[in-house]
Amino acid sequence: MIGILPVTFISKAEMNMSDNPELVSNKILIGERLYAEAINIILANAKTELFIFDQDLSRGDFASLEKHNLLHNFLADNINSHLTIVLQDTNCFRNSCPRLFNLLATYGHKMTVYETNDTAKHAKDCFILADGQHYIKRIHIDQARFKYALNDLESVELLNSRFDELLEATQDVVAVTQTGL
């Protein structure tokens, strides 16, 4: 008997594919362009939870329309989605990433941006965690060396513990409106 199988469409990001053959998961890679592309893969695979730790979002092409669209879709597509960002310095976020800052205005109930206190300013790596399964980790902020992987629960669990520690070392929450006189 011949039957009809259901057809499911998934994006290239969900299939862990890229048009760039250099972008291989679970391997240390080098390059700012590859880093920005790998971030896109992680963001595209996020469904409910995103944790971002970065010095200031100046690397990784966070001011781009593409990053804005990926994060907007993440926040808009799922009523339970939540984005938590921990930064060592929020000036770039406030002044150079207007699209992301506008997302905070629109999705303030689903998005929180923190600034670390002085005890956490020594950290020189940065990473993104998605849904407790996917990650990208830049080894040092001054070098475009990074590793990313999908469905790597063990690595994400270790980074999640580190994110919790960094979250405890925050001092300020970024607000969209200024209060006071």
Evaluate if residue 7 carries a pLDDT over 80: no
- CATH architecture assignment, domain 49-173: 2-Layer Sandwich (3.30)
pLDDT digit string (tens) for 73-120?
A: 999 999 999 999 999 999 999 999 999 999 999 999 999 999 999 888
DSSP string, the chain: -----------TTTTT--S-TT--TTS-EE-HHHHHHHHHHHHHH-SSEEEEEESSS-SSSTTSHHHHHHHHHHHHH-TT-EEEEEES--HHHHHH-HHHHHHHHHSTTTEEEEEE-GGGTT---EEEEETTTEEEEEEETTEEEEEEESS-HHHHHHHHHHHHHHHHTEEEE--SS----
Q: Is the pTM of this model over 0.85?
A: yes
pLDDT digit string (tens) for 122-153?
A: 889 999 999 999 999 999 988 899 999 999 99
